[in-house]
Chains A and B, each alone.
Chain A
Amino acid sequence: MTTPARTIEKSGAPQRPGTSPHLSWLHPLGLISLSVYNFVMRFLTLGIHHFWGKNEVRKRIWSSIRVEGEPLEYTGTGAELFRGFLVIFGIVFLPVMLATFSVAVFFGPDSGISKGFQGGLYLAFLLLTGVAIYRAQRYRLSRTRWRGIRASLVGSSLKYGWTYFWTMLLVPVTLGWISPWRATRLQRITTDDMRFGTTAFSFTASSRPLYGPFATFWLLMVAFLAALPFLVTAIVPWPDMFAASETGEFKPPRPEDMARIVVGVYFALFLLGVVYMILSAWYRAAMIRHFSRHTHIDGLSFASTVTPGGLMWITVSNFLLLVAGAVVATATLAAIGLFIWTLAGAGLGSAIGDSIPPEQIGGVLGVPMVLLFFLAMGMLLPVAQARSTGYLVSHLRLDGTLDTAAIEASAEQNIKRGEGLAQAFDIDAL
């Protein structure tokens, strides 16, 4: 066909070349109903709809990010996400599961070969984590457009994966002190590889300014970890189970002690999570602001005004939101179940009553209810994601100018993608 676009280009004057673009967040409406719809559909389609639901959520969140009032466009599809999952499931999870199983069966779960195999797997997964992170980012960027111009990530996922891997090994060795340097290094690889059309992003941050906030965080965290055992035992009385070990025979903990141990461990983990979230907020805020300030494209740089309090509030309120959503969903489903039970009446009741004595019905139904509750925790995840993204975007400013007319689409932009082995692994399975 002819290109009438050409004529429009000639006839209409470009909109303010070299503008100072305005970044804004237009909070998406109808996300709660979308969340509930996705949750219900996930059950009705035995889980498969998840990928399509996730994709629609992304479309809505991307659309809420506005540059010059014009939305980002997400062009990925649910089918792509599903295919990515099948690839990972088929070529990684299933073979690994079978191999682990076979090794354990033929050499014994505690044999040297089995342990070596497990260790090797763990290292391989650690190595692949970085590759997967990079490829997922590449996938998402390649499906992101603004004014029809696609973003991309042009580097090598192996390079990123390797850096991710060896610096990860150094985290325990350095007692965590490599973390700011590591985060900066990984962010530099990603940002320097990022393109909008043919225009490159650049990253100029050094890790030095992050060490002040990190040191504060590290010292407070160590102090807390030292106090944690005392805190936990003070609040959840620890059973006196080690007294028996003096006889030389290991005595399995009694069930009532077991419950206490489980509660204690979960309480400790919860406490750890909350305190980590609080203490790390200053460091995280400092990092976001530092990285933003040193990210550039064309004549633009970014400026973030996120605050520790803001990050904390988003995390806490999102958590409460997810719990509230799970409570409502579980209660609703329980009520529906009870209603059906009552309607079905004596027939169903006696059929089940034969096999389950009345005093056990609570126990039998309790486990599915707990499972359901944990599943339902994910129901309002789209709302939480939108709130987090909204917080970051509405506290991000673009400084300087962008010559939009000079930003060109990259050559391969409109080539049909998704073919060939390399693309087959640009998947977003995380």
Chain B
Amino acid sequence: MPYETDPPAFDGRYSDGKTAAAYNVRVGFSPRGLLIRGHNAADDLIWPYGALATAEPISSHAVDALVSYRHQPGASLFVPNGTFARQLAEAAPHLTTRAARRRAATPWLWTAAAVLVLVAGVFALQLSPARAIAGLMPDGLRNSLGNQTLRSMTSGKKVCETPAGRRAVENLAARLATGVPGETTFEITVVDWGLINAFATPGNKIVLTRGLIEKAGSADEIAGVLAHEMGHGIEMHPETSIVRAIGLSAAVELLMGGGGGTVGNIGVMLAQLSYSRQAEAEADDVALKLMRDAGIATDGLTDFFKRMNKLERSGDGDSNRTFDVLRSHPQTADRIRRISAQEKYPSKPALKPADWRALKTICAVPD
């Protein structure tokens, strides 16, 4: 670039940073740095290019430049001239918008890439950090979580517990429990609720509704649904989805720079809406194993699927119900096929006829 020292070409205003007064100066580009000249050439200031900073990065739109110098803090030089700004950008390329943006963005682009690789790795290896954390939860916490979930989902509804009905539930749970690994015990609650529904909460608690029991054609159907929910419990899906929801909302909050409040919450709600297809398949697998170990036929479960599927498609009944077992209903046909493909094994009805009748009327008011 054409360095010219004498006379400096541009008019500028210089402030020393001690008071707000400004002085008219001439400014030019010397080989050693920016040349600032007051009245006497003998008192010239030289500001080396490498130690310069500008108030804003110099863009192609620049019509002026406000320059400061690292070794003279407070001092500033204002040159209201677009040509000066462009020449300054040439002499000190680190002052351009492009350079400033590269400095600001590069480390974070690498960070983001690293995070994406990490996430991709977690997915590729089918790791579930949320599941791992859920596994670390102490039983006390899982129980408290389960109690709160149970309370909020069943609030204002009566718990069904005719003694004979309770006995039937216990018998069914006990039969299925033969295949449950370890010491895990399940706490099953039947609530007086017309919706056809069943869900598992943290801490191995399961809720069945009156609607579900009334609509079931046989005890085997209830056994299948119960086994499926036990599958969710054994695989810790409820705990995992809570950990995932908390992690997601924290991550979204972090990513949105704190402004993500609403957006984050919508995302979290979506994440909580349902278990993944994979989770449902896992629960089905566990259910099949539990039923085989208990010697209960799987035909009841497939019958139930078929009937519910038809009901759902025809839009009959309550249209706003959520039914866990059918949550991923596009795959219901698939699931029926998988269950039917199971090898047959010797089986006995899930409940004795008397127990089944007692279960059917578990919500009846005891006389």
Contacts and interface: CB of A to CB of B under 8 A. Distances in A.
A and B are interacting partners: yes
Interface of A: 1, 4-5, 7-9, 11-15, 17, 26, 28-30, 37, 41, 44-52, 56, 59-60, 62-63, 68-71, 73-75, 78, 85, 88-89, 93-94, 97, 101, 104-106, 108-109, 145-149, 196-197, 252, 254-255, 355-357, 360, 367, 371, 374-375, 378, 402, 404-409, 413-414, 429
B76 A47 contact: no
B148 A49 contact: no
A94 B109 contact: no
A74 B257 contact: no
Contacts of B151: 108
Interface string B58-78: 011101101010011111101
B321 to A, nearest CB: 11
Contacts of B147: 108
A8 B74 contact: no
A48 B111 contact: yes
Q: By CB atoms of chain A within 10 A, which of B74, B145, B256, B319 has the most?
A: B74
A367 B19 CA distance: 57
Given A13-B23, A105-B141, A147-B22, A8 B38 contact: yes
Given A48-B111, A52-B104, A404-B19, A30 B253 contact: no
Given A46-B115, A63-B56, A149 B17 contact: yes
A194 to B, nearest CB: 15
Interface residues of B, number: 74
Nearest to B36: A8
A362 B104 CA distance: 38
Nearest to B16: A5
Contact of A407 (B19, B39, B66, B144): B19
B80 interface: yes
Interface of B is mostly: mixed
B76 A45 contact: no
A4 B64 CA distance: 24
Interface stretch (B2-10, B263-271, B297-305, B346-354): B263-271
Given A8-B16, A148-B76, A409-B19, A37 B45 contact: no
A147 B15 contact: yes
Contact of A12 (B38, B59, B72): B38
Contact of A56 (B57, B64, B78, B152): B57
Contacts of A73: 55, 66, 68, 76
A59 B17 contact: no
Contacts of B152: 109
Given A1-B71, A108-B148, A52 B105 contact: yes
Contact of A11 (B38, B109, B259): B38
B259 to A, nearest CB: 8
Nearest to B61: A29
Given A148-B76, A252-B320, A74 B270 contact: no
Q: By CB atoms of chain B within 10 A, which of A50, A196, A357 has the most?
A: A50
B250 interface: yes
A41 B257 CA distance: 13
B29 to A, nearest CB: 18
Contacts of B108: 45-46, 48-49, 52
B136 interface: no
A385 B258 CA distance: 19
B306 interface: no
Contact of A37 (B40, B101, B320): B101
Contact of A405 (B20, B24, B259): B20
